[in-house]
Structure formats: C-alpha cells, structure tokens
C-alpha cells in the first residue's frame, strides 16, 4: 500500500498514455528548416505535461493542413484539391461561392478569388476531463469523440477553419471544451462507484449534448453541419491514491477472505483425507498382520501334515517297491520261460515254413517250366501257322498272276539263273509234249523238266 504523500501511479500512467496518443493522432510532416540563429519554439502544453509525468518526448506534431497543389502563373492558376478534402471557392462581387464540395478543383485568379480547403476525413478528439463527483472527490475521465463534416455549406459559415497550420484545430478545441463540460456536469451528479462501474450514463449524456450542438435538434438548421460518429469513455480513475486504495480494499479483502476460506477448506479436506488415509493404512496393516499370522499357522499345519503324509508315503512306497521287485523277479522268470518256449515254437515254425517255401518254389519252377514249354509250343505253332498263311498268300498271289507277268519275271531273272548254273559238260534236250506252253501249268512243267535235267547233269 502506498503512503498518503505518494502520487497515484495508475493515474500518472493513464495521463501519459493519453498524451502520447493525442500526439500520435496528429498528422506528421517534415518541419520547415528554421532560420540560422533562430531560437527553437517553446515547448507546448503537451510536451510540458509529458516531461512532468515522465513520458517519452513526442515527435514534433505537424499541422492538419491539406496538401493543395497550385499550378500556373499570375491570373491563370489552377487549384488541385485532394479527393478527400472539402473546398469552397469565392470571388469578389459574388454573394454565393463559385465552387463548393468534396474534392473540387478549379481555376483561380489571385486578384479576385479566395478559397478554403478543409480535411474531409474523420476527426478524433481525445478528452481528459478532471471532474468532481457527488462525494467531492476528484475523478479523471478519459474518452474520445469522432466526428465528421456532414454539411460543408453550413459548417464553413458557422465554424472557424481559418487556422493556417491546422484548419480543424479551433473546431476540435471547441468540441473538446463542450465534451469536457458535459462530462463534468454528468459526473458531478454521480457517485464515485457509479462512475467507476457504469460509464454508459456518461456516454449517453455526452452523445446527446454533442449531437444537439453539432447536428441540431429535430432536424432544424441550428446545427453546425457536423455529424458525431461515436462517443466512447476509455478510463475513469480516482485522483486520490488513498481513496483509490480504499475503494479497492473491500474487494481485495473479500477476495482475500474467499482465498483464505478456500485455503482453510482445502487444508481441512487435506487433513481429513490424511486422517482417513492414516486410519485406512493402520487398518490395512493390522489386517495384513492378522492374515500373515493365520497364514503362518496354516502353513505350519500344512507342513506338518505334509511331512507325516510323506513319511507314510515313503513307508508304503518301500513296501510296494519290495513287493514289486519280487513280482518283477517272478515275472522275469516266467517271461524267460515263455520266451524260451516261444523261441522253440518259432524255430519249429521257421523249419516248417522253410520246407513249405522250398516245396512251393519247386512247384513254381515246374509251373514256370510248363508255362515256358506251352509258350514255346504256342509260339512255334503260331509261327507255323504264319508261315503256312504266308505260303498260302504267295500261292494265291502266284495263282492270280497272269502268264505274261510270269514270263516277264522269268525272262528278267534268266540272267541271274544262268549265272548261278554250273557250266554244262553236255547238252541235253528235253521235249515236253502235250503241255500248253502258254499256261502257268505248262511253264511250271517245263521249268521242272529243265531243273531235273540240270540236277542229273550235276551228278
């Protein structure tokens, strides 16, 4: 908690931020070079307040003057106005302006004409209203108002846009003063808590008053030709640091009480949980020890029963083993005798089977020999039948041959026959009469006679 003589740190920060923001909202341009040896201009109220509050120095603010280009010379000049700026052009001897509107360019004669150019963009006014509330306590209310020119024909007649560095400066000052007065009037009828907690009544009162001044009431011609775009309240800060802390104390104390009660509840819950956990842990330990004692006793009894049963089992096993050994010896002897009898029976059976096999082999060999003899006889018989069939076929073929073919064949084979015949020592002639030499039988008879003669000759 700060001491009574200390300043309100939050208030100082708010004021410094508002000053920096107000400086940033100004349009910036490169300042014109100062004359050599000229003294720098004195710092303005914003710079002084920034230095007093410890805020960083702001860059030099440029004017809101509109960038109007003028070309030509002497009486034949042209004025080029940006499209987002209002202009009014008047001439000597004329009651009404020659040109008036947004972004209107025109010809200009310096000897008879005059013109005024005003920015048409939305203007923002930052408000720092140091007010006294119903409890006679200082309150700083910060807000901003945005406005725009709605009817320039009315605005340029009722408002002063003649400042060379910033045509909007005097209008912004007038609207700021009216806004601060409205805020102070409204805050003077409100309590500190109402100002800090609900800013809507201030916004409604400020909006109603500014719109009544700027736009007129009930659509009459009493307005300034302006339109209020928006009204907002950013901050409401108590100037007294002690009062500021006292206002915060109930909430802080309440929150501290809630936090402490929550801590106590948490500690109580933790303590109950710890006691329950300790009780459960002790109960589980006792239960575990009881179960262990019962388990040990049961294990001891089971071990004793197991040892007694093991001894009885070993005794029975020894008797059983002795009886099994005697039975095994008897069974072995019986098995040896049985095996001996089976061996003799097998030898006898083997001899019988060997004799039967030898007899069977002899029978099979005899059957095979008989089968082979039958096969050879059948083969020889089939061969004889085949030869006989061939002879029949040749005889049939020979019988079917014509005499001319027989003669041709004989004539064709006579050189071979003569080549194979021995050289005769004598010549005999055989005359066959009564045979038809043109028929096959006659030819065969003649050949038989010739062959008989040849055979006789060779003897």
Tell me the pLDDT tens digit for each residue of 320-341.
888 888 888 888 888 888 888 8
**Distance from C-alpha of 66 to C-alpha of 53, rounded to nearest angstrom:** 33
State the pLDDT at residue 213. 84
Q: Average pLDDT of 53-78?
A: 62
pLDDT band at 282 (very low <50, low <70, confident <90, very high): very high
Render pLDDT for 285-306 as a digit per residue (tens, 0 to 9): 999 999 999 999 989 998 898 8
Contacts of 122 (CB under 8 A, 6+ apart): 146, 147, 148, 229
| Residue 391, token pair as written in the block | 């002879």
Q: 6-17: per-residue pLDDT in tens?
A: 556 656 766 776
Residue 147 is inside which H or E element, if any?
A: strand 138-149
Query: In angstroms, what CA-CA distances link 44 with 48, 50, 402?
Result: 6, 10, 164
Residue 432 has pLDDT above 80, yes or no: no
Whether pLDDT at 44 is above 60: no
The pLDDT-based confidence of 3 (bands split at 50, 70, 90) is: very low
What pLDDT shows up at residue 53? 37
Check residue 350 and give its pLDDT.
Answer: 87
pLDDT at res. 37: 37
- pLDDT interval class at 435 (50, 70, 90): low
- pLDDT exceeds 50 at position 4: no
In this predicted structure, the answer to whether residue 168 has a pLDDT above a threshold of 70 is yes
Instruction: Say what the pLDDT of residue 99 is.
Output: 86
Q: What is the pLDDT of residue 355?
A: 87
Alpha-carbon dihedral angle through residues 169, 175, 180, 184, given to the nearest 10 degrees: 160
Under the banding of pLDDT at 50, 70 and 90, the label for residue 279 is very high
Determine the Cα–Cα distance for residues 229 and 122; give it in Å rounded to an integer.
Answer: 8
**CA-CA distances (angstroms) from residue 2 to 9, 16, 53, 172, 344?**
10, 20, 18, 38, 130
Radius of gyration, CA atoms only, the chain = 75
d(CA 338, CA 383) in angstroms, rounded, equals: 64
3-state SS assignment for residue 126: strand
Predicted confidence (pLDDT) at residue 120 exceeds the cutoff of 80: yes
Is the pLDDT confidence value at 204 over 70? yes
Helix (H, G, I), strand (E, B) or coil at 37: coil
Sheet holding 99-102, edge to edge: 99-102, 85-91, 113-119
- Cα distance between residue 54 and residue 42, in whole Å: 19
Which one is predicted more confidently, 58 or 225?
225
What's the token pair of residue 274? 């710890």
> Is the pLDDT confidence value at 46 over 50?
no
Ramachandran region of residue 41, left (φ > 0), alpha (ψ -120 to 50) or beta?
A: beta
Which element (helix H / strand E) includes 237? strand 226-238
pLDDT at 366: 86
In 10 A of CB 23, how many CB atoms?
Answer: 20
Quote the Cα angle for 368-374-377, to 5°.
140
Contact at 8 Å (CB) between 62 and 29? Answer: yes
Give the helix/strand (H/E) hosting 60.
Answer: none
CA dihedral sign, ordered 298, 301, 303, 309: negative
Asked whether the beta carbons of 85 and 117 are under 8 A apart, the reply is yes
Neighbours of 141 (CB within 10 A): 24
Buried b (16+ CB within 10 A) or exposed e, 382-406: eeeeeeeeeeeeeeeeeeeeeeeee
Tell me how far the alpha carbon of residue 10 is from its chain's centroid: 49
Q: What is the mean pLDDT of residues 425-429?
A: 61
Q: What is the mean pLDDT of residues 184-203?
A: 83
Q: N- to C-terminal Cα distance for the chain?
A: 177
| Cβ atoms 403, 436 nearer than 8 A | no
Q: What is the mean pLDDT of the chain?
A: 77
Q: How far is 406 from 113, CA to CA, in rounded Å?
A: 162
Is the pLDDT assigned to residue 205 strictly greater than 70?
Answer: yes
Q: What is the pLDDT of residues 216-258, one digit of tens each?
A: 776 556 788 888 888 888 888 887 777 767 666 777 778 888 8
pLDDT at 59: 35
| 3-state class (DSSP) for residue 172 | helix
Q: Decide if pLDDT at 5 tops 70.
A: no
Distance (Å, whole) CA 96 – CA 92: 10
Q: Out of 46-50, 159-163, 342-346, 369-373, pick the least confident.
A: 46-50
Tell me how far apart the alpha carbons of residues 174 and 213 are, in angstroms, rounded to a whole number: 11
Q: Give the Cβ contact number of residue 370 at 10 Å.
A: 10
d(CA 184, CA 134): 11
Among 233, 240, 216, 241, residue whose Cα is nearest residue 180: 233
d(CA 106, CA 88): 10
In the prediction, which pLDDT does 34 show?
Answer: 35
Query: In the sheet that 138-149 helps form, which strands lie side by side, from edge to edge?
Result: 123-132, 138-149, 226-238
Please report the pLDDT score of residue 9 as a whole number: 65
Question: What are the tokens at 160?
Answer: 């002063």
pLDDT for position 30:
38
203 in Cβ contact with 218 (< 8 Å): no
pLDDT the model gives residue 244: 64
Check pLDDT > 80 for residue 417: no
Q: In terms of Cα–Cα distance, which of 216, 126, 230 is closest to 180?
A: 126
The token pair at 150 is 């709605």
> At residue 363, does pLDDT exceed 50?
yes
- pLDDT at res. 13: 65
């Amino acid at each position: 908690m700060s001491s009574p003589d200390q300043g309100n740190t939050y208030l100082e920060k708010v004021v410094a931020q508002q000053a920096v923001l107000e400086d940033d909202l100004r349009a910036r341009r490169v300042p014109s070079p100062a004359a050599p040896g000229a003294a720098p201009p004195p710092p303005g109220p914003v710079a002084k307040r920034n230095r007093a509050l410890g805020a960083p120095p702001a860059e030099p603010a440029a004017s809101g003057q509109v960038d109007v280009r003028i070309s030509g010379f002497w009486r034949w000049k042209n004025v080029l106005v940006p499209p987002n700026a209002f202009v009014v052009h008047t001439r000597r001897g004329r009651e009404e302006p020659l040109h008036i509107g947004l972004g209107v360019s025109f010809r200009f004669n310096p000897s008879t004409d005059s013109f005024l150019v005003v920015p048409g963009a939305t203007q923002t006014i930052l408000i720092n209203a140091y007010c006294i509330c119903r409890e006679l306590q200082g309150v700083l209310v910060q807000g901003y108002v945005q406005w725009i020119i709605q009817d320039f024909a009315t605005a340029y007649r009722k408002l002063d846009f003649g400042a060379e560095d910033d045509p909007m400066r005097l209008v912004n000052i007038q609207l700021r003063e009216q806004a601060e007065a409205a805020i102070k009037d409204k805050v003077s009828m409100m309590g500190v808590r109402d100002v800090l907690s609900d800013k809507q009544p201030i916004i409604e009162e400020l909006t109603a008053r500014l719109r009544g001044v700027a736009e007129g009431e009930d659509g009459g011609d009493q307005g300034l030709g302006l339109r209020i775009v928006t009204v907002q309240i950013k901050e409401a800060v108590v100037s007294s640091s002690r009062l500021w802390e006292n206002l915060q104390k109930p909430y802080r104390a309440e929150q501290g009480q809630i936090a402490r009660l929550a801590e106590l509840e948490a500690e109580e819950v933790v303590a109950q949980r710890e006691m329950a956990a300790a009780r459960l842990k002790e109960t589980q330990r006792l239960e575990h020890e009881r179960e262990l004692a019962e388990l040990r006793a049961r294990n001891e009894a089971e071990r004793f029963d197991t040892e007694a049963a093991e001894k009885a089992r070993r005794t029975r096993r020894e008797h059983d083993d002795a009886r099994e050994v005697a039975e095994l010896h008897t069974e072995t002897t019986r098995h040896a005798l049985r095996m001996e009898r089976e061996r003799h029976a097998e030898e006898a059976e083997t001899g019988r089977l060997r004799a039967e096999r030898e007899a069977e082999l002899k029978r099979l060999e005899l059957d095979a020999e008989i089968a082979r003899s039958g096969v050879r006889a059948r083969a020889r018989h089939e061969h004889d039948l085949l030869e006989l069939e061939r002879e029949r076929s040749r005889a049939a073929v020979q019988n079917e041959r014509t005499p001319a073919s027989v003669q041709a064949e004989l004539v064709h084979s006579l050189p071979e026959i003569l080549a194979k015949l021995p050289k005769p020592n004598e010549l005999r002639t055989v005359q066959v009469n009564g045979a038809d030499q043109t028929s096959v039988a006659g030819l065969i008879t003649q050949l038989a006679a010739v062959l008989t003669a040849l055979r006789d000759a060779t003897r």
